[in-house]
Structure formats: C-alpha cells, structure tokens
Amino acid sequence: MMEGEILKHRGNFFFDCAKGEGNTIKQIKWCRFIVFAAILALIATIQLPATGYAAFTEYKIEINKRTNKLYLYQNGKVKKVYPVATGRTQSLTPEGTWPIVVKINKPGWKGIPGGHPSNPLGERWNGLSVRGDNGRTYGIHGTNNPGSIGTHASSGCVRMYNKDVIELSKTIYEGTPVWIHSGTSNNKWRGDSRVGLKPASGTVKITGSNVNARTGPSTGSFVIQTLKKGTVFPKTGVSGDWYQVKLPNGRLAFVYKAYASSSGGSAPPPSSGIKPASGQVVVTVDVANVRANPSLKAAIVTKAKKGTKFTLTGMNNEWFQIRLSNGKTAYLHHTVAKQTTSQSIIRVVVNLANIRSAPSLSAKVLQRVPKGTTLTKTGMSGDFHQIKLKSGTTAYIHKSCAK
C-alpha cells in the first residue's frame, strides 16, 4: 500500500469518528488516539522493497534428457518439476549450461502465425544461447502435440505443455541458466556456475555511440532503446559479457560490456586467476577475436574462424589461455570457444577417491569411486585430471588419486 493510500484511509477513519453532533471533546481525543494507533498498525504491515542482492530471486533450470523432466530451482531449491519432450536422438538436444536470452509470446514458425493451432512452438518461446548463438535455434517452448510430452520427439528443442511453458516463462528472466544433461538428478543444480545472471550493484557508463539496450544478454535479444554515449545507469546484474542496468522508466535491460564501463558498488567475487590446463580449444562462433590479454578491452591479436583449434595452456572462469602457431600466448573468451581434448583412460590408484565438480580440493564432491575404477580423461587443470563422467558431466580428480 502506498503512502497516498495510507492518508486516504486515515481521513476515512477520522471522518467516521468525528461525525455526529453529540461527540464530546473527550470522545474526539479518544477517536484520534484510535486513529493514530490504527495508522501505526497499518504502517507496520507495509514491507519496503528489498534492495541490493536481497531483492534478487535466483532461478535456475535443470533438464534431464534421460527422464524428460524439467526442474525449476528457486534460490537453490526445487520449486517445481515439469514433464518435457527432448530430442529424438541423444545428440539433438545439446548438453551443457546455456543462458535464456530471449522470450517470445506466441512465436511464429515458418510462416505459421503465433497462436495458430498448427504452430508447433505453442504459446511461448524461451530461447537458449548455445555456444554464442542468438537464441533462435534451441529453445524451451510449448507444443501443438501434447501427446509427445514425456517422450523423445523433438528435433533438439525442449517441449512443454502450453499451460506449463506459460507459467515457466512468467517466472524466469532473461539470463536464467539452463543445465541440460542425461545423467541423474538429485534435486541439486550442478550446471556451470559461470553461466547465468548474477546480482551486482554500482553504475554503468555508456562508452560507445548509440548503444542498444536489449531485453536479454545476447545480440539476438530484442532492442528496447538506444542509449547515448556518456549516460550513466544503475547496475543491477552481470551475465557473461553483459551488464544488466535499470533504465529511467524502471525497466531492466542488458548492455554489452565492450560498449560500457562499470564502477562502484559491490559485485560477485571476481574470477580466479589463470590456472594451468592442457588439451585443445575449438572456436564455436563464425569469427572469434583472439586477444592479447584476458579482457574484452584487450588488443585483438588475430581473428579465428569457426572450427579453428588452438593448444590450451591455461584457463579461468571466463578465458582460455592458448598458444598460437608462432609460440605466443593469447586468449579466447569462453563464449566463443569450447574445450576439446583427446581422450585417454586413467585408473584410480587409491582405496577411495573423490570426484569433484571443480579443480579444487574444496570443490563439491560429486561421487566417490573405489580403487581400480577406470575414468575417461579429457585434459588437465592444475593438479587435477579433467574427466568426463558417463552422464556427460565434466568433473575432476586429483592427479595423486589416478594414473
């Protein structure tokens, strides 16, 4: 209830007490006391809007292709489970962690208007940015074939009942991370924590000319308006290469980091430094910038086409450190490349070994395996073997535990 409404109620209370010719001064004073107490009680029920991180509701999505279930997490706990349909074959629905970058009501499809009974996309489209694309290839959407839900039926997208996808789309926001896998689900989100919208504060200053403010963290998201160079906005979040800002009309929007600078306020902890790693990385976008340093503002050393492979020498939460053909060190951002390594088999050499979610002794233990267990090694990260579990999940085991 707003302050104006409080004053209105206060006036009504006082009028009801004071009307009538027979009221004495004592009665009027008593009425005023009752009014004052009522106002205090009313104010006590009002909750001011939360600020900073407290105002941020964290949503994450898990999709299990094996069971065809979608888990919606709210602040770390499963809020709801929905049945879905996924790809006809194992390879069609891409596994990994991808952000939702665009939401469309009643999407059109190949000349069929949105909302038409023959439109296979149903009532909503929640587009995923898979390896840097614009959110138009893979998505979580409705369907005109509800009988397919719970089966493997799609060409790669994730289908939901129309009533379910409407509910989901109204709940989540652009930047929500979606973890897709075909392993086991245990009511714990185990996707890539680097992906998704993180709360932040401070300000963002537009440094480019006529910069687009978009609905989501992607060039495939809709343009809300164009921002002038030098304007400053409150920063509300960070998602990969994008700042989330609050526009003067109160709407949240995303601005590409390369065209803005951030200052002040608090933000999520910075990513760790570059740690040694081995294997290869391959470019996943049409043309990728190879930079001299791990920064989007660093000089571009060269450009690489999709499919180009480089030797991996290190990595952190955002950057791959690579070695060029001339022997020099350079960097590729995680959004434009992925790690790809030659696989080998290693064997556990201790009685019981921890398999962890990250290359750190303090990282979460995903499972414990006995001596003699064979594992598929895909690379190294510091003192840890990087391995691929049967579920397809990337995990790590210390080099002292397996050979």
Catalytic residue check, 141: yes
Catalytic residue among 9, 31, 116, 141: 141
Residue type, 143: T
The DSSP-derived string for 98-128 is EEEEEEEES--BTTBPTT-TT-TTTTEEEEE
Indicate the DSSP class of residue 328.
Answer: -
Neighbours of 305 (CB within 10 A): 10
**Do residues 337 and 309 touch, judged by C-beta distance below 8 A?**
no
115 Cβ partners below 8 Å, 6+ apart?
A: 106, 123
SS3 category, 42: helix
SS3 sequence of 1-36:
CCHHHHHHHHHHHHHHHHCCCCCCHHHHHHHHHHHH
283 Cβ partners below 8 Å, 6+ apart?
A: 304, 305, 306, 307, 308, 309, 332, 336, 337
Catalytic residue among 31, 157, 181, 334: 157
**The dihedral of CA 62, 255, 283, 130: what is its sign?**
positive
Q: How far apart are CA 185 and CA 174, in angstroms?
A: 24
In this structure, what token pair is assigned to residue 109? 């499809």
Q: Is 76 exposed, middle or buried (0-12, 13-18, 19+ CB in 10 A)?
A: exposed
In angstroms, the first-to-last Cα distance of the chain is 65
Residue 209: phi and psi, rounded to 5, are: -95, 130
**Do residues 349 and 340 touch, judged by C-beta distance below 8 A?**
no
Beta strands in 75-222 (DSSP E): 77-83, 86-87, 96-105, 124-128, 138-141, 152-154, 158-159, 177-181, 198-199, 203-206, 211-214
Gyration radius of the chain over CA positions: 27
Task: Report, as residue numbers or ranges, the catalytic residues.
Answer: 141, 157
